[in-house]
Amino acid sequence: MVKRTIKFTPIAASVALTLGLTACGSDNDRNIPVTPVESFTATGDAQFNIEVTGKAVKGSMKSAVVTVMTLDASGQSVPVAFRSAASAEAESFSEEALSQSAADAAVEASKIAANPEVLTDESGRYSIYLDDDFTGPVYITVKTSAEGDDSFLRCDAYVGCGDYDVAPEEDDVNDGDTAIEFGEWYKTDLELSVVKFVPAVEADTSGVSGSAGDANVEASYKANVTFLTSLVAALLLDSGSSVDEDAIAKASLDTVVQVMGQDAALLLSAIIGDLSNGGAVDLSDVDGEEELTDGILAIAQLSSSIQGLPSIGDVMSSIKAGIKSGQFKGNADASIAAIATMLQTAITNTANVFVAIATGTEDDIKTALEAAFAAKIPAPTAGEIVAFAANSADVAKKAKAAKDKAVKNGAATDASLAAAAVKVKKALEVIGCTGAECTVGDDFYTALAAALTLEVTASQTALTALEMSIETAQSSLADVQAMGGDALTADNAAAFVSAVTLLKNEATTADLTAKADSIFVKSQGYVTAAKALVTQSSDYQQVLDSATSLQTDASVAVTDTAAYDAALAALVAEAEAAITEFDVALAAAKLVAEDTADVADEKKSVADTAEAASTSALANAENAMVDTAANATEALELAMTAVTAASDFAAAVDALEIAIEQALVAANAYLELEGEGAQAMIDALTAMQTAAVAQGELASEQFVTAYNLQLAAETAVAKLEVLTSVKATSESLSTMTVLTGTGADAVADAADILADVIDELAEMGNNSGTGTSTRNADWDYAYSLDDLTLMLSNATTGEMINAAASYEGDKLVVAWGATLKGENDVSVELVTAATQTQALTDCVDFAAGTIDATQIDSCLVFTFDGAVTADNVDDAEIIMTETANHVEIIDGDSGFTGMLSITADDATDSGSITLEGVSGDVDFKVMTTYLDSDMEEASALDITVNNAMGYTLSITGNESAGYTGDVMAMYNEMMMSFGTAAKTTNGLSITYIDGDVVDYTDVDLIDSSK
């Protein structure tokens, strides 16, 4: 706080006194009075205990320069005071100036002048500390340079990050060639940034300390610096307005939706209100500080994909321009749209490679890498292909090792990472948005609230488990503390030292502080996201309440773990002092070596048990059948059990390896004291370590096998679920009158009657007349060759057929309609217009091609070998017959309404029949083609059901060879066969993929006589 005082300085007092004395002389002294100079002083104290910490990752930015500013009311960056460590005591400042405002400004300038240089560490981590009075936006930039400093960027793009100008020397990271490969460090110009809003610190901070447990830290905020936060920061600075939490939340949401799309945005529900709360993951070196959830993995894959593009700066500029214009993908600017397309290809490649990393072997990863390289460079040269193939095995090995390290560090389990990889791949198949997709609405916020609620609930469950672990650790701590202090003697000093060592080892393995910090940081993100939801609607208040409650509980866990760490550190110091005080170095070293070896033995037993469980579960999964729906469901359960068991096996081996490493440290310490039997201990532990490595490899192999079995079972279950629908559709089709012999006969009989009567009237030679057919005694007729009209009626059945025709060049166009009866009172109607005149007009237009089949009712078009009239039609030859009919069939159950279209090409003796419409609840289309040449007639039939399943029954063949085909349906966005079909004497027989054979009788699908 700045304390303002106004006072005369010694110089001012001296001047004033001199002026006072000279004033006593005569008026003739010609002395001119001088006004005293007034000086102002400002003093102030400052304590820097507001922590802002995070990591700069695109991969990791090492030794990068960190610049810290704040933003004024117009969004412009201005300097701000900060320190690189929390203040233990207040700093004092005092400045003089000719005005109070100048003095005050000088004090603030002095604070800023003392700002330190801050560089990131090897992981890209940085921490800065703001004045405890600070509130508002803090603008942080992190920069690496191609020249002039020691900054580096690590490549975490699987297909590489370009080429070195000069190949670096070969070492543990670089392989000595000019290609910048996955995991290698290189020099480049890159600047990333973040804007973090720091709220006013409340009086009651609930004892929350910084992420490092520093007691001097009043409040701690995560501010990771990533590609996405850089886009958000750029948008905020370009807005020209003040920045608060709401502005950051809106810019964050807009950025994610524009770049990744709404589906992917839902994966980021935990940090959607402030992207700086997560996503700082370098895929080449996952330290476990951040859990690899679906959303974090999506961000990491996006970042990795961008690093593999030709120019990160150009990509960022294009994306920012696209977002500002309202649409990044498909932007009107061709160059921006091209960047979006290029990014889609890159992120698809990354997602495919990561699935191979999470679920496959090194060979699988190598294959995925080479496919990604081919997709990145569609026409690579032979030299490029050879060069990449030569290195792909090494990159695959590095990628697999990076994944294993992520699991060992607790960022994920094998099972959770595999599930996340597949889910993220699906979400990133189509990134970005276009049109209305770029504007989020109520449905999105509802889905976001649901996703955020799941995140909060999961973290609350994790916190509950953590609290139990903390209680257990505190109890163990108390037990060891009881051994020290006044109870400590020469007799129990060695045991005390060993107990402290075991406790320390256990604490290192458990890493409770990191887990508490992780949940606390997550809760901060939840609260920010929930606040953004409440801004949209108060209906989401419960989500905010739950997130706030979690944050409060998590802050307690942070405080508890910090206190535990401090107490443990005190115990370690006491144990070290006890070794000297009681001269028990050798005895303590021996006991520690023995006790840590015992812990390793215990972990070995756990790993062996886990191996047996995994091996047994895998055997059960491998023996499972997937031939039926029930068996496939059981096989999926067994495979999932095997996946979990293999993942648990891998985790047990990881714990064993840690215990062995700790035991080796102790055994080597004992060896340095020339302890008896130390070398034997080391040899035994080394052998155990070798066996553990083999177990780890086995766990990895079993996991890959189990996961592939799970995928196969999931595929089988999904297929068999579709098969159930396929069978139901086949059954529905087989009972439809329109496809059975009954319906077919009704239409065919009508055609036979019409043909007979027309032939009969032609033989009579009259131009018009009425009467009763001699060939079909129940049918009366009335016709006029002058008007080209015909009416048939059946008084017994109530059936009727009417037709009106017109000569149109080389065509005879007929508009006709009918009401027919089939067996079992089936009613068949060929629908025509209200009047014959209108019906014929429509049919003439249809024949001329000016309207299509959807705009007519029932028409018949004969095409002759030349122009025809009533005078020459008898001598003309029909070369094509086409009919399109609006048909309604009612059988009392399903019925049918639709179009029946027929073409017959007399020149080639071929034709086709198309029936399309709705029967019951089924919308379907039947297409039949046939060819009758000198050889036996060959036919093909396709029945397609117009639903999401895409049911299609396809049959081809001829009478002698038989009619066979497939039943197809949509599965996994592709058509696949669900059975083979064969026409039988009275229907159809289908053999389904589950071995079930079903005969459908009275189905007349192919019948040339009709």
pLDDT, tens digit, 9 for 90 and up, residues 524-549: 999 999 999 999 999 999 999 999 99
- Per-residue confidence (pLDDT) for residue 731, from 0 to 100: 86
- Per-residue confidence (pLDDT) for residue 1007, from 0 to 100: 44
- Per-residue confidence (pLDDT) for residue 1009, from 0 to 100: 41
- The residue to which tokens 């703001």 are assigned: 130
Residues contacting residue 377 through CB under 8 Å, at least 6 positions apart: 384
Q: Which range has the worst mean pLDDT, 192-206, 264-278, 288-302?
A: 192-206
3-state secondary structure of 830: strand
Phi, psi dihedral angles at 823 (to 5 degrees): -65, 155
pLDDT at 348 over 80: yes
The string of pLDDT tens digits covering residues 775-791 is 888 889 998 888 888 89
Residues contacting residue 961 through CB under 8 Å, at least 6 positions apart: none
The string of pLDDT tens digits covering residues 220-232 is 999 999 999 999 9
C-alpha to C-alpha distance for 598 and 64, rounded to whole angstroms: 45
Of residues 296 and 175, which shows the higher confidence score? 296
pLDDT at 462 over 70: yes
Model confidence at 913, pLDDT cuts 50, 70, 90, reads: confident
The distance of Cα 171 from the centroid of its chain, to the nearest Å, equals 36
Of residues 879 and 468, which shows the higher confidence score? 468
Q: Which range has the worst mean pLDDT, 308-317, 645-654, 658-667?
A: 308-317
Partners of 118 in beta bridges: 66
Of 2-6, 559-563, 765-769, which has the strongest mean pLDDT? 559-563
Of residues 574 and 913, which shows the higher confidence score? 574
Q: What is the mean pLDDT of residues 861-874?
A: 87
3-state secondary structure of 130: strand
- Per-residue confidence (pLDDT) for residue 640, from 0 to 100: 96
Residues contacting residue 529 through CB under 8 Å, at least 6 positions apart: 249, 269, 270, 271, 272, 273, 274, 448, 452, 547
Of residues 929 and 704, which shows the higher confidence score? 704
- Per-residue confidence (pLDDT) for residue 19, from 0 to 100: 33
The string of pLDDT tens digits covering residues 100-153 is 899 989 999 999 999 999 999 999 999 999 999 999 999 999 999 999 899 999
- The residue to which tokens 């090995």 are assigned: 397
Of 21-30, 380-389, 556-565, which has the strongest mean pLDDT? 556-565
C-alpha dist (Å) from residue 23 to 30, 164, 167, 173, 973: 11, 80, 83, 83, 103
Triad 797, 799, 805: Cα angle to 5°: 160
Look at the alpha carbons of 854, 859, 865, 869 in this order and tell me if their dihedral is positive or negative: negative
Q: What is the mean pLDDT of residues 863-892?
A: 84
Bridge pairing between strands 800-808 and 789-794: antiparallel
The distance of Cα 523 from the centroid of its chain, to the nearest Å, equals 22
**Over pLDDT 70: what percentage of the chain?**
91
Both tokens assigned to 393: 């095995």
Question: Across all residues in the chain, what is the average pLDDT?
Answer: 87
- Per-residue confidence (pLDDT) for residue 79, from 0 to 100: 96
- Per-residue confidence (pLDDT) for residue 22, from 0 to 100: 38
pLDDT at 891 over 80: no
Q: Which range has the worst mean pLDDT, 594-608, 648-662, 824-838?
A: 824-838
Partners of 930 in beta bridges: 911, 939
- Per-residue confidence (pLDDT) for residue 135, from 0 to 100: 95
- The residue to which tokens 């091996």 are assigned: 615
Model confidence at 212, pLDDT cuts 50, 70, 90, reads: very low
Q: What is the mean pLDDT of residues 55-72?
A: 95
- Per-residue confidence (pLDDT) for residue 683, from 0 to 100: 97
Q: Which range has the worst mean pLDDT, 37-46, 891-900, 920-929?
A: 891-900
The string of pLDDT tens digits covering residues 705-745 is 999 999 999 989 988 989 998 998 888 887 776 665 555 56
- Per-residue confidence (pLDDT) for residue 963, from 0 to 100: 82
pLDDT at 753 over 90: no
Q: What is the mean pLDDT of residues 871-876?
A: 82
Phi, psi dihedral angles at 182 (to 5 degrees): -50, 125
**Over pLDDT 90: what percentage of the chain?**
59
- The residue to which tokens 């030859």 are assigned: 877
Both tokens assigned to 180: 């910048």
pLDDT at 482 over 60: yes
pLDDT at 747 over 80: no
Both tokens assigned to 282: 């370098």
Q: What is the mean pLDDT of residues 587-605?
A: 97
C-alpha to C-alpha distance for 470 and 472, rounded to whole angstroms: 5
3-state secondary structure of 611: helix
Phi, psi dihedral angles at 77 (to 5 degrees): -80, 135
Partners of 196 in beta bridges: 138
The string of pLDDT tens digits covering residues 402-441 is 999 999 998 999 999 999 999 999 999 999 999 889 999 9
C-alpha dist (Å) from residue 484 to 27, 499, 507, 901: 90, 10, 19, 97
- Per-residue confidence (pLDDT) for residue 732, from 0 to 100: 82
pLDDT at 934 over 90: no
pLDDT at 342 over 80: yes
pLDDT at 188 over 60: yes
Q: What is the mean pLDDT of residues 514-528?
A: 93
Query: Whose CA is closest to 431, among 261, 257, 252?
Result: 261
- Per-residue confidence (pLDDT) for residue 933, from 0 to 100: 54
Q: What is the mean pLDDT of residues 482-487?
A: 94
pLDDT at 686 over 80: yes
pLDDT at 23 over 50: no
**DSSP state, 218?**
S
